[in-house]
Chains A and B, each alone.
Chain A
């Protein structure tokens, strides 16, 4: 990876690891840190961060979401970019956060400034024009559009652009923009419907015989991983950060070691 200095590259970023990555997919966090540090960017991870409040907001507990965020706002203040390896948490911080404080001018301004700095991982990597990831992903890669990255943040290009730098071959997943059935509490409130949607998603990946199914959100991963192992599918699931960091690099899943 090139170490020359890039003007458009910040020296330092704040990593919003997200609660799911923290507790269920710590490797994704490691892969993200690896990607950023290899690009000569210092990563800061404030340990006091827990959750962006999206589970509460999306389930109709706005006051709870606000309280949770209120306790963390001071950790997010500053002027460096805030990187989220997730479309949904990115959407929560970028689009929802400021709307939660509309009745409090001081907090609202703070929140708006934070929101402005939030950027999803693949968007950030494209913004700094990182093209040399120093790794190759063998086999066939297919990308699943995570709903909140696709429609919340309106992004379907940057994950594909990034993957095209590392994938030996990338094929479009049929109906890649169709929800995998996770939807937070939806997947446990309506398990049969959710599982039927999940089955469609896995069928699409199997139909094109993908080696790697890549998602950009730990929420989708939680759901898809559960379905893949229940079916004993040979499809291997990666987070975008893991796919980009590359095989056997930090954050690469032990079970997929090449």
Chain B
């Protein structure tokens, strides 16, 4: 029974700091997830809708991939398809070589973990920098992620501090905020000079060729904005047919992952930077990694591709909570990992993972798209038997057990014999036995087989069993037409096999929460994640507010986007501030990085989440809301939409147009943040520490935004 999973599990079980971190993190995430769904109008309907989107996508995955490729090609994105890890690495290295890249900045990508890209880059003389705080810590420690969304949850504050002292700054303190500042400073330098950015993809929208990133720290934005070349790596499971579908999935992903309504940044990248835009990569590559995926299409394991990598199943799983991600010895741990790992790496490598589950079903309960993980664990166990991948002894024992079960006399006699033995065997002695008895006795007394079984007692009680069934009254049965339809339906369902869970698909449009006053709701939600919202009555109010805010960064210039709803440039210039305007000729990253405040307009705002939507374009650099420590958004009141879904038609209009579509749309919800060091929430990791908003009434708006 000394399997490798057990060996790793046993060292995890005695690792006290790990146990504490695991319990704190998984418990916290699970609670926040439950709370986050309460803020939706109909959580189950929303999740069922999300599930439907995933199911439908994979029913016609070939069609959607074709659409995606066509959209990407129209945008000028280079598409590469890699059948395996080796070819994927070769492709990335070739791109790096072509551009003479020396350093690469990476934002979190599970696909790149899958192919061990960092080692390949290093071997080729290219230095990769992981920039997600948790991933960077792991890179410094030479470890692998242990959780889908919180890669370094297994590391304590003390361990991180020691690591920073050894590898980055010998004087590093013990405050998570201070450690984060060290990381910010070090990585900012790397962002500014890196020749290539590598990211993963959360959603790839087929109809527009938009690659979406869901992040909190802002590193995903920097990786896909500053380097000249952006390489995105993904498996085909990231495809989402439409923008509207994407927004629905976005409504469940952060809620399930970290319990946020939205993460700080939802970044939608549609092709390389346009000619009239001042920042963004000149060249975008999409690397589609197969890596053992396509062979599972049309099999019982296809449903595993529905996973949107939120990590909710890991937080809900009692086994994961007990042993942590590293015990699974795979990029993908926990319940979904116990399916994905053998799917991608084969049963010989990860075959024991499907057994390492008590089949309690908590994973499917927590999954935002109701992936039937328990069913697939069973299918995977079945595959092991069929392929003789499990132990010979196990197959032999179960066959023997089956034979006994089919002969009631043998079955009963077997237990009678066992009952005698069980009276003489105590747990202390049994603990030394090999096999299941010894394993049982490690922490439990042995169960006693009853001296007199239930059937024996029953026989004594009465002897009227033999012919009872034949005496059942014959009832003439009539089915109603409805019952007949129901029966037909049920029979057809059976043909599709076992399905866990009890959820109906919703009919009609999804219910939304009521937002009677969009501006007020926006202010409430914005303030919950960021700073107080200013709601002025007169232009002078705005002037005073802006100047006060700017005064906090007196020595620093102010970056100001064009076409603001109210002209703040003159006020600041009059007061002697140095103003950095958008450049017409490439990005002026160094100038913007020196600014204390970036002031932008706001194309739309979302009331239910307190989010600001910014489109890139001439005069609207991506970096203004990203590099300075403070971001101020001037929000025309009329631009506030009630719901995330209200953004669907607007995005369609903007991104589906042939001309002048923005290369980047950001949905910003609060400041740049991370809880990667000891679960402490830190603001201003890579992007702004503070975000302020002024809601500008229609009457005060001067120009056209």
Contact = CB atoms under 8 A, between A and B. Distances in A.
A51 B6 CA distance: 29
A64 interface: yes
A196 to B, nearest CB: 5
A112 B322 contact: no
B472 A226 contact: no
A109 to B, nearest CB: 8
Nearest to B327: A193
Interface in B102-148: none
A180 to B, nearest CB: 8
Contacts of A60: 378, 380-386, 390
Interface in B408-455: 408, 411, 415, 419, 427, 435-437, 439-440, 442-450, 452-455
B358 A147 contact: yes
B222 interface: no
B358 A29 contact: no
A4 interface: no
A247 interface: no
Given A96-B498, A99-B497, A197-B358, A59 B381 contact: yes
8 contacts: A22-B453, A57-B378, A60-B378, A60-B382, A79-B472, A154-B502, A187-B358, A189-B355
A5 interface: no
Given A26-B454, A50-B406, 8 more contacts: A45-B458, A46-B469, A48-B408, A55-B398, A57-B378, A61-B399, A186-B357, A199-B443
Interface string A1-45: 000000000001000010101111110111001000000000011
B556 interface: no
Given A21-B454, A26-B457, A189-B1, A230 B355 contact: no
Interface of chain B, main secondary structure: helix
A90 interface: no
Interface string B344-383: 0000000000011111111011000000001000101111
B459 interface: yes
B408 A50 contact: yes
Contacts of B445: 225-226, 229-230
A47 B408 contact: yes
Nearest to B498: A99
Interface stretch (B36-44, B265-273, B275-283, B488-496): B488-496
Interface string A61-82: 1101101100100010111100
A45 B464 CA distance: 9
B130 to A, nearest CB: 30
A58 interface: yes
Interface of A: 12, 17, 19, 21-26, 28-30, 33, 44-51, 53, 55-62, 64-65, 67-68, 71, 75, 77-80, 95-96, 98-99, 102, 108-109, 112, 147-148, 150-152, 154, 177-179, 181-200, 222-223, 225-227, 229-230
B390 to A, nearest CB: 7
Given A24-B450, A46-B469, A47-B408, A58 B318 contact: no
Given A50-B405, A195-B443, A230-B443, A181 B398 contact: no
B386 to A, nearest CB: 8
Contact of A112 (B381, B386, B406, B494): B494
A77 B469 contact: yes
Interface string B474-500: 010100000000000011001101101
A253 to B, nearest CB: 12
A29 B458 contact: yes
B13 A193 contact: yes
Contact of B444 (A17, A67, A95, A227): A227
A112 to B, nearest CB: 7
Given A182-B358, A191-B442, A225-B447, A46 B406 contact: no
Most buried by A among B355, B359, B361, B502: B359
A47 B356 contact: no
A188 B405 contact: no
B465 interface: yes
Contacts of A198: 443-444
A44 B469 contact: yes
B699 interface: no
B439 A189 contact: yes
B355 A185 contact: yes
Contacts of A177: 362
Nearest to A187: B440
Given A45-B455, A193-B13, A80 B472 contact: yes
A37 to B, nearest CB: 10
Contact of B500 (A79, A152, A187): A152
B558 interface: no
B398 A56 contact: yes
Contacts of B382: 60-62
A182 B440 CA distance: 10
A230 B322 contact: no
A5 to B, nearest CB: 16
A198 B442 CA distance: 12
B361 A147 contact: yes
B299 interface: no
Nearest to A80: B472
B463 to A, nearest CB: 10
Contacts of A64: 398-399, 401-402
Contacts of B491: 108-109, 112
A145 B359 CA distance: 14
A152 B499 CA distance: 10
A17 B455 contact: yes
Interface in B247-268: none
B360 A226 contact: no
Contact of B450 (A25, A102, A154): A25
B150 interface: no
Nearest to A177: B362
Given A44-B468, A191-B1, A192-B442, A183 B357 contact: yes
A108 B494 contact: yes
Nearest to A101: B494
Nearest to A61: B398
Contact of B465 (A26, A30, A47, A98): A47
B554 to A, nearest CB: 53
Contacts of B1: 188-189, 191
B67 to A, nearest CB: 34
A47 B455 contact: yes
Nearest to A66: B402
Contacts of B360: 147, 151, 178-179, 183
Contacts of B378: 57-58, 60
Contact of A179 (B5, B318, B459): B318
Given A50-B405, A98-B494, A190 B6 contact: yes
